[in-house]
Amino acid sequence: MNLQAMRPLVAEFVGTALFVFFGAGSIVANAASANSLGGLGTALAHGVGMAVIVTMTMSISGGHHNPAVSVGLWLAQKIDGPTLGRYVAAQLVGAVVGALLVKGLFPAGAARVTSLGTPQVSDTLGLFSGIGAEALLTFFLVSVVFGTAVSAQAPKVGGFGIGLAIFVCALVAGPLTGAAMNPARAFGPALVSWDWHGQAVYWIGPLLGATAAGALWKFVLLPRDATNIR
C-alpha cells in the first residue's frame, strides 16, 4: 500500500486515538478531581474534541472516527466494502492506543475506578433499553453526519455540527449509557481495562442506528446528485 493510500487510514487512526484520549481522559480526570468537570465538562470534552478532530481530518479521510459512521456511509454507498474494513480496523486500533495513553498518563486510581473511561450502562436500564437508547442517539448522530458533511447541499460548517450532536447526546443520555454512539469509543478502554460490562449495547445499538440513518438518507433525504466522499 502506497503512502497516498495510507493517508486516510493514518488520519482515522490518529483521530480516533485522540478522541478516545480526550473523551475517556475527561472521565478519568473528572474522577481524579472530585467531579470538578461534571457531566457538562465531560460532554464538552467529547463534543468539542470530535468537532476539532473531524474538521482536522475531513479532507483526508472524511473524518469518520466511528465504525457506526463508516457503516452508515457504506450502506449509503459513499464508501466501498474494502474501505469500510480498513477504516474500522484503523479506528479500533486507534481507540486502543488512545486508551493506553490514558492508562499511562492519568492517575492510576482514577483510571481503575472508571475503567479508563469505559462507558457504562446505568443499573436503571435493561439490555434492550440500553440498545434502544444507543440506537436512537446514533441515528441522530449519523443523520447529522449526512446532513452536515455528506450531502451536496450540506452547509460548510466542518465538524461543528457533528461535535454539537455528540455534546447534546452526552448531556441527555450520558448518565444512562455514557452516550457512546461509537463502538470504537467503547472498545478501546474496555479492552485495556478489561471491563466488558454492557459491551454488546455499544455495538448493537450504534450499528442499528447507523443502518436506519444510512437507509433514510440514501433513499429519501440525499439529493440525487449528491457527491460521494471517501
* Residue 13 and residue 136 in contact, taking contact as beta carbons nearer than 8 Å: no
What gap in Å lies between CA 170 and CA 77, rounded to an integer?
29
The angle subtended at Cα 104 by Cα 165 and Cα 134, nearest 5°, is 25
Give the span between the Cα atoms of 151 and 217, in whole angstroms: 9
The pLDDT of 201-205, averaged and rounded, is 98
- Please indicate, yes or no, whether the overall pTM of this predicted structure exceeds 0.75: yes
Closest to 17 in 3D by CA, of 198, 230, 192: 192
For residue 114, give the amino acid letter.
T
| Mean local confidence (pLDDT), 114-127 | 96
CB 106 within 8 A of CB 33: no
Q: Which fold has domain 3-221?
A: Glycerol uptake facilitator protein (1.20.1080)
pLDDT in tens, 2-48: 888 899 999 999 999 999 999 999 999 999 999 999 999 999 999 99
pLDDT in tens, 162-178: 999 999 999 999 999 99
Nearest to 55 by CA among 156, 177, 191: 156
Q: Give the C-alpha distances (Å, rounded to integers) separating 98 from 101, 104, 166, 222.
A: 5, 10, 18, 34
Identity of the amino acid at 115: S
C-alpha to C-alpha distance for 192 and 103, rounded to whole angstroms:
8
Helix (H, G, I), strand (E, B) or coil at 228: coil
**Domain map of the chain by residue range?**
3-221
Band of residue 156 on the pLDDT scale cut at 50, 70, 90: confident
Length of the chain: 230
The DSSP code sequence of 45-83 is HHHHHHHHHHHHHHHHH-S--SHHHHHHHHHTTSS-HHH
Q: In which element (H, E) is residue 15 found?
A: helix 3-32
Q: What are phi and psi of 120, to 5 degrees?
A: -125, 145
Residue type, 62: G
Per DSSP, the residues of 113-130 read HTGGG-----TTS-HHHH
